[in-house]
Structure 1
Amino acid sequence: MSFFAQLGLRKVINASGKMTALGASAVSDEVADALKRAAQDYVDIDEMMEFAGSVIAEYTGAEDGCPTCGAAAGIAIATASVITGKNLSLIERMPDSEGLRNEVIIQKGQQVHFGASIAQMVRIGGGKPIEVGNANKVEPDHIEQAITEKTAALLYIKSHHAVQKGTQSLETMMRIAKEHQLPFIVDAAAEEDFQAYIRMGADIVIYSGGKALEGPTSGLICGKKKWMEACRMQYKGVGRPMKVGKEGVAGLIAALKQYPSKEDNGDEQIERMTKLTEALADAKGLHCSIKQDEAGRAIYRAQIQVDASKAGMTAAELLHRLESGNPAIFLRHHYVNVGILSVDPRPLLKGQEDIIASEIKRILKEGQSS
């Protein structure tokens, strides 16, 4: 019996992705062992944080790093760092940044909600979000003309949640930041390449530790040394209520050390999702296909288009039935409003795609016979 079942909680089959709401990742034995061993011992936390920064630097190619309790905390901490630097008096003022350079420029279509809003994370760090352009159309001039003596940084959100068309590229925004000698921050929370944006020249890059890295609930910031030192100092200020414990840092370090040996499993994803779509081929009212992630990542999901007139229920109704069961099956539902559900193979345990196909067919059959 699983740990959560022992607590009386429902079993969950996560076909949604590395989602915070579902516990992000199931960690490896090595990462779990690091969590356990750290939890049962003591360490000088400041010393551990500095050591973790050096490990983050090693695996990202950055000058230094800072562990966090998650990527959202990383946005707040990174924002505070570009406003305060290492000035302790300013650090202790945040998020009160009145009179300081505190404006953070972000393209309008990237001011998204990921469970909370990007803008709120910026404000927690003392920043004032400045949205530029329109949701699906941003010109370089929109960015340039928003820069004032109050500008603290430019922020780019690399995410499937963000508008993917009509916006300015990361390269363009970074060029503008460098021309104006402003720090350029990249939120790459769910990205799989932990070196790409540092190689490109970003000053600060933020990642989740519990998504592509498959570590515990945690996060990391990497970048220029002066900013990473300022980030770590935020734990004397706004970072304090979002501190990461010794267990999280130990698990993050273990996950970073494992990551380079992780194999690309795109072919396996396609094979498993092909099996799922074939199992649903005779399900009335469903049209299934395999789609690559909309943000271009090497993720291949099964897409299920629900024709309510034939299926006997809408995609939203099917989703609700799946989530209400035991096991509770969570599908990716960003496009449920247009009748589309998706199955993400990455978090699925062995054979769970068979359970999903069986449950979908059972629910549809019940609905069509009632």
Structure 2
Amino acid sequence: MKKSQDKLTRRKLLKTLSSLPVVGGLVGTGLLTPQMMHAAVETPASRNFFKELGLRTFINAAGTYTSMTGSLMSDNVLSAITFGATEYVDLDELQDKVGERIAELLECEYATVTSGAFGAMSIGMAGVLCGMDTSKVSQLPDTTGLKNEVILQEAHNIGYSQALTNVGGKLVRVKTAKELEKAINKNTAMLWFLNANTEEGEIKREEFVAVGKKHGIPTFIDCAADVPPVENLFKFTKMGFDLVAFSGGKGIRGPQSAGLLLGKRKHIEAARLHTPPRGTTIGRGMKVNKEEVLGMLAAVETYLQKDHDAEWKLWESQIKLISDSALSVKGVKTEIHVPPHANHVPSLRITWDENVVKITAEDARKKLKDGHPSIATVGNKDTIGITTWMMVPGQERIVAQRVKEVLENA
């Protein structure tokens, strides 16, 4: 076998692979050595799949939006994903070990890799509803006989709270701490907090946690887009929240379809009862494959090792470069700001006097998107919004030049 294997050249291998549905067709057969696997996964990268499919790529000057496919993963993450595709492993055992490792890294009681922050909220809610009672797991979303009420602030009730109702949670909205206390009853299952809307709610995080502890009710905080700063990965479990959800494919730069559920072991182990490989559960469709689990572990490790101060200074210099370029056009004003919660990165707002710069913000953004290269931004009818943290270093110069050109030539 070895002699014939040695004769399997890279060219012959790729010819063979082209007739197979996936590279995995040779893994485990002895035909695909680690060196050959490297060659096999390396070659497709030379193909421009997006071009073949007629898709246009763009410079991401907007941020970590799902519609824009989130973030770009690091080489460490990509290597972990590629490694994960080379062998079989028990999925539960992998989640157990990775959960322990991530919990150790983030100094919390337990953790699990989930199908995004939304998935983390859904299985976390399901775990709270059913606990470790396996007879109740297949009952959801029917919550007959179960505590199912979730109290949240009215200002925190955005679309993502559907992650809770999808599995049977019933939302109870309050405005004040007094209303929160009054709303708690025998059917209250959980208190849920949206960190992105911290400033919009009257009840702050510490008070929210204190009320939950007073009544013995689990508290859950959604921190999907709240990295950076890196401290947030530790902050909320230490603050006392029983469950914390993060997106994996935003600032942590893990797989876009992955996320993290951190917190109390009893709640996370209960949440895991609703996930694959178990079948008759409400979380069966929220599968996280072994490649994503390893990718998320590598993403957390890589993110913790970053020089966050240096990265912040880079973002500031990039934003200033674009701001200065825009300000060189008569009639233009800029504002550099940092959102207090969620997407907490140096950001830029560009506005102008349309009597001087004769183009609307919407048309200017369209020109940036339709130009070469295409540049995706955010904003509204009055502004262009730009961030640089999802750019490849160097792209900020292209963005600075194009913004100036669009405004100057209007």
Match of 1:130?
172
Mapping 1:25-104, distance limit 5 Å: 25-104=71-150
Match of 1:136?
none
Does the 8 Å contact 1:288/1:305 carry over to 2?
Answer: yes
Mapping 1:109-188, distance limit 5 Å: 109-112=155-158, 117-133=159-175, 139-159=176-196, 162=197, 164-188=199-223
Provide, for residues 314-347 of structure 1, a one-character-per-residue CA deviation record: whole Å limited to 9, x for no partner. Answer: 22222233233443311132xx14x122211111
3-state SS of 1:226 partner: helix
State the TM-score, normalizing by the size of structure 1: 0.90
Provide, for residues 125-179 of structure 1, a one-character-per-residue CA deviation record: whole Å limited to 9, x for no partner. Answer: 211111212xxxxx211211111111100001111xx262452111111111111
3-state SS of 1:310 partner: coil
The verdict on how the C-alpha distance between 1:9 and 1:181 changes in structure 2, with shifts beyond 3 A counting, is same
3-state SS of 1:343 partner: strand
Question: 289, 301, 305: which one pairs with 1:257?
Answer: 301
Does the 8 Å contact 1:307/1:314 carry over to 2?
Answer: no
Residue 196 of structure 2 corresponds to residue 196 of structure 1: no
Mapping 1:186-265, distance limit 5 Å: 186-192=221-227, 193-217=232-256, 218-235=258-275, 236=278, 237-264=281-308, 265=311
Q: For residue 395 of structure 2, what is the amino acid of its counterpart?
A: Q
Does the 8 Å contact 2:190/2:217 carry over to 1?
Answer: yes
Distance 1:99 1:305 in 2: 55
Match of 1:363?
406
Offset of residue 122 of structure 1: 0.8
Provide, for residues 167-197 of structure 1, a one-character-per-residue CA deviation record: whole Å limited to 9, x for no partner. Answer: 2111111111111100000111122221101
State the TM-score, normalizing by the size of structure 2: 0.82
Residue 151 of structure 2 corresponds to residue 105 of structure 1: yes
The verdict on how the C-alpha distance between 1:163 and 1:46 changes in structure 2, with shifts beyond 3 A counting, is closer
Unmatched segments (≥5 aa) in structure 1: 134-138
Distance 1:155 1:125 in 2: 15
Match of 1:307?
353
Distance 1:65 1:36 in 2: 23
Q: For residue 89 of structure 2, what is the amino acid of its counterpart?
A: V
3-state SS of 2:273 partner: helix
Offset of residue 298 of structure 1: 5.0
Q: In terms of Rg, which structure is larger?
A: 2
Distance 1:346 1:259 in 2: 14
Q: For residue 156 of structure 1, what is the amino acid of its counterpart?
A: F
Distance 2:262 2:304 in 1: 17
Bigger mean CA deviation after superposition, 3-12 or 45-54: 3-12
The verdict on how the C-alpha distance between 1:153 and 1:296 changes in structure 2, with shifts beyond 3 A counting, is closer
Distance 1:103 1:59 in 2: 33
Offset of residue 93 of structure 1: 1.3
Match of 1:321?
367
3-state SS of 2:220 partner: strand
Give the fraction of aligned pairs with identical amino acids, expressed as a percent: 32
Aligned length: 353
Distance 1:31 1:249 in 2: 10
Offset of residue 276 of structure 1: 1.0
Unmatched segments (≥5 aa) in structure 2: 1-45
Aligned Cα RMSD in Å?
A: 1.8
Offset of residue 119 of structure 1: 2.6
